[in-house]
Structure 1
Amino acid sequence: MSDQSLLSAFSDGRHLPEFRSVDEILAHARFNDAVIVFVDGLVGLWSHDPRLRPMLEYERAVCFMLIVCLAAVEDEARPETWLTMARLREILPQLSIAPDRPIMDFVGSLVEDDLIRLEPSPLDRRARRIVPSQRMLELDREWLSVIHAPLDCLYPNMTYEVALARDEAHHRAYRQASVQVFAVANYIMTSNPPADYFVREAVGSRIFVMLMAEAERDPEHRSDRAFLTRAAARAGASRTHVRNVLKGAAERGYLRLPEGGDNRIEAMPILIESGRRWVAECLAATDLTHRIALALLKA
């Protein structure tokens, strides 16, 4: 995806601040280091807690972040902006997520884990407003620190330290800005078939970033030995499920499964190239959102 394609996700021709382009990031001398920082950060994100681990999965991650974003742009004087279950169901399809039973069950699990509260609307007692808890906001700030760390690796002494420090004002502004770039986030995933394959599979996101982390460190782009066992443990899934996800990727030509006594997974060039571009696209989108957030803070 070119920089022009990234911007084409906006259909209204709005003015955008200058930001680090995909091509600029890919060409940076320290891009390899940034890839490692990015994938290592995602591998470790929330991995210590079995209740939080599944939130890295695409649909759950998007739903989680969408709740934080929509809550950040609420205006108490404008009830149409209030974050309700109905509003969440309305916007999820814009990010290619069906508001069906599984995702609504996930919202219910957020209540059980004290990450959100459901409160009756003062205008309609049948409607429920979604209110993120402080713990949810803290987890989201942890996420933002992970995705800004590679940019700080590439461009130190810039302004990313506010995200790394988990500054509350920047966090709110960043999530307000995120609402403006939903289309970009959706475009990044749907325009990258190898990455899209993994993130659409159950626990596929964590398998993908684990494989990328290991393949990027190996001259032959192969995983360490016993990848199945390690990935299953980190993802909280069975070895059989991990094997099936990898088998599907192999059938699409994205990787080569082990043969004989060598049990390492080989990432094919198409997957390495796709993964690296996916990282660059994510970083470009993060930088764009960060700059919009800084403008909001100055306004």
Structure 2
Amino acid sequence: MDQISFDDGSLDFHVPPVEFLRASVFAGARDRVIAGKLALYEGNHLFNRLVLEEGRYLCYLAALSLHSAQDMAQPSTWLTLGRLQREVTTLGVASRNRVEAQVSCLRKYGFLTQQPHAPDRRVRLLVPNDGFLSHDARTLDLLANGLAEFGLSPTEASRSVSGTELHRAMRRATLPHLRGISHLIRRHPQLSPFFAHDCGYMVLLLLLRNAAATGGRGVSTGYQRLAVQAGVSRTHVRRIIEAARDAGLLTTEARGGHDIGLTPAMWQAADRWFADQFALTDLLLRQGLAHLCPAGC
């Protein structure tokens, strides 16, 4: 399990996901990451709609990675709409038009700007704003802090470099792995009822947090409360819950989503997902540090 290979891309983990999954601290680290992500996403309905869905998430990730990896002396590396479209469409998760629509939304709400390049004003570069970069850095920090609990990653070495430098280096390291990350998401078909819907990931995190607070048992909530927390309609939440129930991940005992149970299959699927997230973050951290400190930090 330490290498996941595909016909057109691979993720060669340094620490296999199963090592994280077997660690005695796994459940606590998982729950703290879930709580931290909800602290970032909950109530931020606009940002949730823009990024918490597979195609849009990979577009967002590609934009940040291209921005971090670009070399202004090499025009072929610049983050332009055309370059972003080529990168994302080769992953098979979005069309050129969909990428352009996503960029338009990010520009409309100030997450991205499009600026003419001074030497050649015909070239228009896409530039993430500070808030966009900061939000992503905080997300990476959550996972990196979780890694520190396992004692399996070079988290001590990461403290010798600035957070901004490390964030940029980790996103630079992300670029060649975009195809592998896309496949990594798709190797969790059990969670597709959540991943395939707008804000479905947010609903997943809310259910896991609420269930963890009761020792993994049922969730005393309702579709309306989940809808308010996720920033979508009650009907949309009901469809997500029903799809997850039909997939054997949840049980529903009362009308209106007031008694939702998480099945063992749900916890197993979620744990495998977070084990992969820890393994991926470990890989990016190691490669980011190798770029910043070739002789060792």
TM-score normalised by structure 1 residue count: 0.86
Deviations 1:211-259 (A, max 9, x none): 1222334345322x12423311111011111011111111222211223
Deviations 1:155-196 (A, max 9, x none): 399526848x97111011111111122233112210111223
TM-superposed deviation, 1:39:
1.5
SS at structure 1 position matched to 2:14:
coil
SS at structure 2 position matched to 1:77:
coil
Structure 1 moving runs of 4+ over 6 Å: none
Which residue pairs with 1:281 in the alignment? 276
Which residue among 65, 72, 92 is the counterpart of 1:76?
72
Which residue pairs with 1:205 in the alignment? 201
Which residue pairs with 1:270 in the alignment? 265
| Residues 1:298 and 1:260: Cα distance change in structure 2 (over 3 Å) | closer
Question: Is 1:298 equivalent to 2:297 in the alignment?
Answer: no
Paired with 1:60 and 1:126, the residues of 2 have a C-alpha distance of: 27
TM-superposed deviation, 1:95:
3.6
Runs of at least 5 residues in structure 2 that lack an aligned partner in the other structure: none
Which residue pairs with 1:240 in the alignment? 235
SS at structure 1 position matched to 2:126:
strand
SS at structure 2 position matched to 1:183:
helix
TM-superposed deviation, 1:99:
3.0
TM-superposed deviation, 1:45:
1.6
Is the contact between residue 173 and residue 296 of structure 1 (CA under 8 Å) also seen in structure 2? yes
Greater percentage in strand = 2
**Aligned counterparts, 1:102-141, within 5 A:** 102-121=98-117, 127-141=123-137
SS at structure 1 position matched to 2:125:
strand
**Aligned counterparts, 1:68-217, within 5 A:** 68-121=64-117, 127-155=123-151, 158-159=154-155, 162=158, 167-217=163-213
TM-superposed deviation, 1:154:
2.4
Which residue pairs with 1:255 in the alignment? 250
| Residues 1:123 and 1:88: Cα distance change in structure 2 (over 3 Å) | farther
